[in-house]
Structure 1
Amino acid sequence: MKKLIFCCLTFISLFTYAQESDVKSPDGLVKVSLVLEDGKLFYSVNYDQKTMLDKSPLGLETNAGSFTEQLSFVKTKTGIVDQSYTQDRIKKSDIHYKANTLTYTIKNEADQEISVHFQVSNNDIAFRYELPMWKETKGILVEKEITGYKFPSSSTAFLSNMMRPMTGFARTAPSYESGYVTDEPIDKTSARLGYVFPGLFKIGNDGWVLLSETGVGSNYTASHLSGVQDGVYTVSYPQMEQNNGFGSPGAQLGLPNQTPWRTITLGNSLSPIVETTIPYDVVEPLYEASQDYKYGKGTWSWILWQDNSMNYDDQVKFIDLAAEMDFEYILIDAWWDDRIGYDRMEELIKYANSKNVDVFLWYNSNGTANDAFQTPLNKMNTSIARKKEMKWLQEAGVKGLKVDFFGGDKQETMRLYEDILVEANDFGLMVIFHGATLPRGWERMYPNFVGSEAVLASEMLVFVQDIREKEAFYATLHPFIRNTVASMEFGGILLNKYLNKGNQSGQERLTTDIFQLATGVLFQNPVQMFGLTPNNLEDVPDFELDFLRKLPTTWDETIHIDGYPGKYSVLARRKGDHWYIAGVNAEADAKTLKLKLPMVVGEKFNLYNDDKSKKPFIKTVEVGKEGVFEVTIQSRGGFVLTNH
């Protein structure tokens, strides 16, 4: 009898243990704990023995079965991921990714199984749901996700709200072009439509957490964060009103299958947030590049000269500007088909090529989901139209597209992004998206993807006084939030004193020239269209133009040096043997920093900075033997140190 009791107790002990499972990062600092409690699945996250996420819910609702309650434990499985890869369009070129894995399998009352698969690396967590075949069920609709994030109550948030569908210009929202709340107590972050990814959180005095997602293509809907409810943010799917009400807000899956990855980056400081590569570590290329794509810088008349510049003669001026600046590209924006025409565009492309400048052309993405009227229209929304247009683009010698006005996160729209990318690659074309969603691992998934807007970009500086006043504030946020998870096609480096063609009055630029140069380093995108104008060749100091001629757009290494979101930011980026260390200051007063630069001890640099009157200057400096360099950044100013 005693033996029987012992066996029963052993069975109960093992059963209880099996429902509570942990997985740690290789360095042991990150710990994810899963527990099945009263038929519901939860997880929690610790870093360096400090709570980053309290007990938070996991689960899905599908039209073929629910996985939110009355769940039973099935099994767990552990493993290791260890891989290296190279990537030519992100913040770092050579990446070694190592993670410990835990796959936790549960079943519902109908004996349908589902697994939650976690990969935990140093400072990063990626997890997704994995769905096997359920008896004869081959296709499902994932209707809802209850994945949650419960932060300690002392946490504060840095979040950008989701825009209301079918609002804004020509009913093109949402397009990830909202402002931010910063250091907001989490109990006050209750926006009705929630917040876009990524979201940054400060965990009291214990550290930082960045939430995002990756691996979203035609396979799923893109998601966002809800407002906080009972202390928990949850993963939310698109509003039904998006895309003019067309398409499901849920995700259609064939079984077996998996959801995209939810990602969590965390640490005691902001360094892991800025330096993370997790959006790319857990995805794979979906196809091979049809050719070697060339990245670089370009000119762009529309940003300051606007629609009236869409004529042959003005585009020649910007081609000549690109050639004079040794830039690789010109972007020719909306209305080119109407105001220049296809035949003359072929002539213009030949002229650009004679100057060693290649061409990107603008397109409207659709004719059905919103009221955007700029042309070319109805060229990118169907496969037949796309292939016909892309054949002409290839024959004319165009190298890339800028496709605009998407306004939605439904699976239907994610499929459109992917279709454009796949077919563009067939014709040797790179793609930039504008008026668009956040890229989610796309730099690695799609070899001809070269950036998205998905930010309050340079055009809003032209149109909105409030954005001009907050330019420095937003610039100090992007390296920690938007730009740390994906390329960001900002369209910046505006050196006109007034943001218009006349450059005499009107929309005054409130940041310094050196601030503008610094954002060329802080903002990362493999193809950068800059807002220079032909007059800048005469009214801007030569040393600023020489800086831009040399500035890379792809990087081998990125290091967080200093900063606080919304106040100031300092990054170091390396291309080959050349370092660029840049910072900007959004605070009301000048800020003096003692920067730790151990990677360049004793080296000489060119320092680009503003004097007290905010006049730009350049001088030669040396980083001391202790690897510490002191610099003063003026309010709404910047600096760059470079040995290039």
Structure 2
Amino acid sequence: MTRKLLFVAALMAVGLCRAEEVKVKSPSGNLEVTISDEGGKATYCVSLDGKQMVTKSNLGLNTSIGDLINGLKIVGSKTEAVEKQYDIRNIKTSHVDYKANKLVLTLENQQKLQMNITFMVSDNDVAFRYGIKKGPRDKQRTLIFGEATSFNFPDGTTTFITPQIGPETGWAQTKPSYEEGYSVDGKLTDKSHYGRGYTFPCLFHLSEGWALVSETGTTGTYCGTHLSDYQPESGYTIAFPDKGENGGFGSEFVAMSLPAETPWRTITVGKTLKPIVETTVSYDVVDPLYEPAYDYKSGRYTWSWLLWQDGATNYDDQVKLIDLASIMGYEYCLVDALWDAQIGRDRMVELSKYAQSKGVSLMLWYNSNGAWNDAPQGPRNCLNSSLARNREFAWLQKIGVKGIKVDFFGGDKQETLRLYEDIMVDANRYDIQVIFHGCTLPRGWERMFPNYVASEAVLASENVFFGEGAAIHEPFDLCLHPFCRNAIASMDWGGVIMNKHMSRDNKSRHSRKTTDIFEMASGITNQTSIQCVAMYPNNLTELPQFELDFLRQLPATWDETQFVDGYPGKYVVLARRHGADWYIAGLNAQKEPLKLNLQLPMFAGKVATLYVDNQKGEPTKTTVKVDKKGIAKITIQPNGGLIIK
């Protein structure tokens, strides 16, 4: 080969190896995402005000129609500004103005198979997803075996994360169900407790701020994913469900018809925790899948099972909880498991009629089963097929039931996600709202499914009943979730607990470790559009009148949410607005009194009502003068609470 030809060949090789780099910034320019195809690998990184928040991390899909991880080249890009406004009734705010810059990248592998990656970049949020328009040789479908998608963070980052547990574990083989404990300020290199990675959402404390990682837009067209254990080179990688989930039924992979798009991966970043708490990215990048067939109502509900347990699912005890809901002005009463056997369908007709006469609507518990767990509680086999669901929902509508709580799913397979979707879609035709327990994390469902309310997907209040250890841990839990679990989705924690002891007689078993004001404030810091107030008839005579008055008017929906102060697992102070009224709620999980100078511009120069514990942990109602600069000096007692309104 002549020198000239060698020179030309060398130039061509350099051209082929030259990395393409594409950048997209947020509307304000403060947040920047950089995507590269260096070395045939697609990678991205995220910076905020010039500081690295997400370091070099991988992109790509492993599919049955081709390798979309290796040998990739960016062959096209398009950027446009996006603005949309939407109203929503059942999240932390009632109206959202969303502004972002949208980047659509086209990448091609060596066999000319193409994949799109769409990035939506707003001032504190990044969302991205993959798309495949068509396959090779007229292929109309593909399997997704996994993702290269990863999240890497600067050295020194600490973690607030909860481990993924293995399949067919827990009571009656009903896990994984997102009910494990969180580590706090852990090391990136720490191995997960069960060796299976971590469930979403995952909160990270960086030297330059905070990052919250999750996903949204997941339906029955994909599986729910989680994060792997940390690897020094790649960070945390998207992991698919375990083969044994859902009782071993269904594939751990994903089957998609082409063209296809994956769910969104989301990253919220901030110098402070304010963008983390206030983010709406879970809803910003998705749209309603169908119109609500009915005018669904938010509200509060009473629930016998938390302290009275299985034996209370009888007609007479449910009448007591209905009467309590009526006295308190609550809209709903939840009748839990075993009602089919211990009340019966004929008497359930009577019970629903009685509730309606008291201005209360019933919600009924169901087992999701099917064949995927051994949980014996009924009703069973009522929601596991379209025929069974439509028959059951028609009956519920006929007798005036307005909601269901569906329990015991155990997994994130595509097969399981289809069931969630099918339940919500079918329920919408019959004026039924849906709460899930023993379940996966909701991923944008409040906006996608208009009759969806909330999911448990957290180590919730029932554990406060089960053991004193969980009661001791409750303050920590409720000071953590506004920054992670409840920041990205509605959370049915399952009860503002007003009994002093975890028993029906309110004297035996272990005590509650939080103050009354803590519990009342948790009804504000915990966000769900149908809020459980786990009161019992004895509370009507045992609680001070001012507590009863507050609990009667406790809102369940919010028009605006603002972060005021806090640190995950230690304390939290939030401001939420309902109509024209602001509510400031604070919780302290620490062992010492917490003295705060709160910035409350909405109360500047005003005298506001203050609910706070005294030094003995006893509830008081008084007033607080907020100065003209909006500063209020407040002390929150250990395991205590604060409400200003």
TM category (shorter chain) comes to over 0.9
2:292 pairs, out of 276, 282, 289, with 289
Cα deviation code 1:415-434 (max 9, x no counterpart): 00000000000111000001
Provide the residue aligned with 2:69 in structure 1.
68
Structure 2 residue aligned with 1:3 = none
Residue matched to 1:263: 266
Report the Cα distance in structure 1 between the residues aligned to 2:282 and 2:130, rounded to whole angstroms. 17
Measure, in 2, the Cα distance between the counterparts of 1:239 and 1:65: 23
- 1:570 matches 2:573: yes
Whether 1:209 and 2:211 are equivalent positions in the alignment is: yes
Q: Which amino acid aligns with 1:533?
A: Y
Alignment partner of 1:229 is 2:219: no
How has the CA–CA distance of structure 1 residues 398 and 346 changed in structure 2, closer, same or farther, with 3 Å as cutoff?
same
Following superposition, the deviation at residue 8 of structure 1 comes to: 12
Q: Of the candidates 597, 612, 615, which is equivalent to residue 615 of structure 2?
A: 612
Q: Which amino acid aligns with 2:40?
A: G
Distance 1:622 1:574 in 2: 19
Sort the Cα spacing of 1:432 and 1:117 in 2 relative to 1 into closer, same or farther, 3 A: same
Equivalent of 2:542 in 531, 539, 543: 539
* Structure 1 runs, 4 residues or longer, greater than 2 Å off: 7-18
Output aligned runs, 1:383-394, within 5 Å. Answer: 383-394=386-397
**Alignment partner of 1:409 out of 407, 412, 415:** 412
Map of 1:43-82 to 2, 5 A cutoff? Answer: 43-82=44-83
Tell me, yes or no, if structure 1 residue 495 matches structure 2 residue 498.
yes
- Residues 630-641 of structure 1: matches in 2 within 5 Å? 630-641=633-644
In 2: Cα distance, 1:292 partner to 1:8 partner? 68
Instruction: Report the Cα offset of residue 367 of structure 1.
Output: 2.8
Q: Is the 8 A contact 1:311 1:340 kept in 2?
A: yes
| Contact 1:41-1:58 within 8 A present in 2 as well | yes
Shift of 1:12: 9.8
How far did 1:103 drift?
1.5
Distance 2:261 2:330 in 1: 42
1:306 corresponds in structure 2 to 309
Q: Which amino acid aligns with 1:421?
A: M
3-state secondary structure, aligned to 1:303: helix
Whichever residue aligns with residue 409 of structure 1, its letter is D
More deviation, 68-77/343-352 = 68-77
- Give the 3 Å change call, closer, same or farther, for CA 273–17 of structure 1 in structure 2: farther
| Amino acid across the alignment from 1:102 | L
The root-mean-square deviation of aligned C-alpha atoms, in Å, is 1.8
Letter in 2 for 1:551: L
Q: CA deviation at 1:620?
A: 2.0
Maintained 8 Å contact 2:437/2:456: yes
In the alignment, is the contact (CA less than 8 A) between 1:580 and 1:640 conserved in 2?
yes
Contact kept in structure 1, 2:192 and 2:198, CA below 8 Å: no
Distance 1:73 1:265 in 2: 25
Contact 2:319 2:351 in 1 (8 A): yes
Displacement, 1:73? 2.6
Amino acid of the structure 1 residue aligned with 2:226 = H
Report the equivalent of 2:28: 27
- SS of the residue 1:110 aligns to: coil
**Take 2:79 and 2:377, find their aligned partners in 1: how far apart are those partners?**
53
Deviation at 1:229, TM superposition (A): 1.3
> Would you say the 8 A contact 1:200–1:211 is kept in 2?
yes
Which residue of 1 is the match for residue 3 of structure 2? Answer: none
For residues 494 and 30 of structure 2, what CA distance do their matches in structure 1 show?
39
- d(CA) in 1 for partners of 2:589 and 2:183? 15
Q: Distance in 2 between matches of 1:326 and 1:14?
A: 72
Structure 2 CA distance, aligned partners of 1:392 and 1:178?
Answer: 36
SS across alignment from 1:583 = strand
Alignment partner of 1:385: what SS? helix
Q: Which amino acid aligns with 2:161?
A: L
**Which residue matches 2:339?**
336
- Partners of 2:582 and 2:602 within 8 A in 1: no
Could you tell me how far 1:13 is from its partner in structure 2? 10
> Structure 2: how far apart are the matches of 1:507 and 1:327?
28
Compared CA separation, residues 440 and 184, structure 1 to 2 (3 A): same
Q: How does 1:48-447 map to 2 (within 5 A)?
A: 48-135=49-136, 136-191=138-193, 192-204=195-207, 206-231=208-233, 232-447=235-450
Amino acid aligned to 1:214:
T
The answer (yes or no) to whether the contact 2:19–2:37 under 8 Å persists in 1 is: no
Query: What is the CA–CA distance in structure 2 between the aligned matches of 1:465 and 1:165, rounded to whole Å?
Result: 27
Task: Give the 5 Å matches for 1:433-582.
Answer: 433-582=436-585
* Aligned equivalents of 2:400, 2:166: Cα separation in 1: 39
Give the Cα–Cα distance (whole angstroms) in 2 for the partners of residues 244 and 332 of structure 1. 27
Q: Is the 1:514–1:638 Cα contact (8 Å) retained in structure 2? A: yes
Aligned to 2:4: none
What do the CA deviations read for 1:392-451 (whole angstroms, capped 9, x no partner)?
A: 101001001011101110010000000000000011100000111100000000000011
CA contact (8 A) 2:17 2:39 kept: no
What is the CA–CA distance in structure 1 between the aligned matches of 2:11 and 2:97, rounded to whole Å? 42
What is the number of equivalent residue pairs in this alignment? 638
- Residue 41 (structure 2) aligns with: 40
Query: Which ranges of structure 1 fall in alignment gaps of 5 or more residues?
Result: 1-6
Distance 1:50 1:579 in 2: 35
> What is the SS of the residue equivalent to 1:483?
helix
Q: Normalised by the size of structure 2, how large is the TM-score?
A: 0.97
Amino acid at match of 1:282: V
Is contact 2:479-2:569 (8 Å) kept? yes
Verify the 8 A CA contact 2:19 2:39 in the aligned structure 1.
no
Give the counterpart letter for 2:206 in structure 1: I
Shift of 1:604: 2.6
1:41 to partner: Cα distance:
0.8
User: What does residue 585 of structure 1 align with?
Assistant: 588
Q: Does the 8 A contact of 1:190 with 1:229 survive in 2?
A: no
Residues 154, 206 of structure 2: 8 Å contact kept: yes
State the secondary structure of the residue aligned to 2:177: coil
What letter matches 1:201 in structure 2? F
State the 1:615 CA deviation: 0.4
Cα separation, partners in 2 of 1:310 and 1:22, compared to 1, 3 Å: same
Paired amino acid for 1:52: M
Q: Structure 1 residues 190 and 459, CA, compared in 2 at 3 Å: closer, same or farther? A: closer
Q: CA deviation at 1:465?
A: 2.1
Please, what TM-score do these two structures have when normalized by structure 1?
A: 0.97
Mapped partners of 2:572, 2:192: distance in 1: 28
Give the drift of 1:276.
0.2
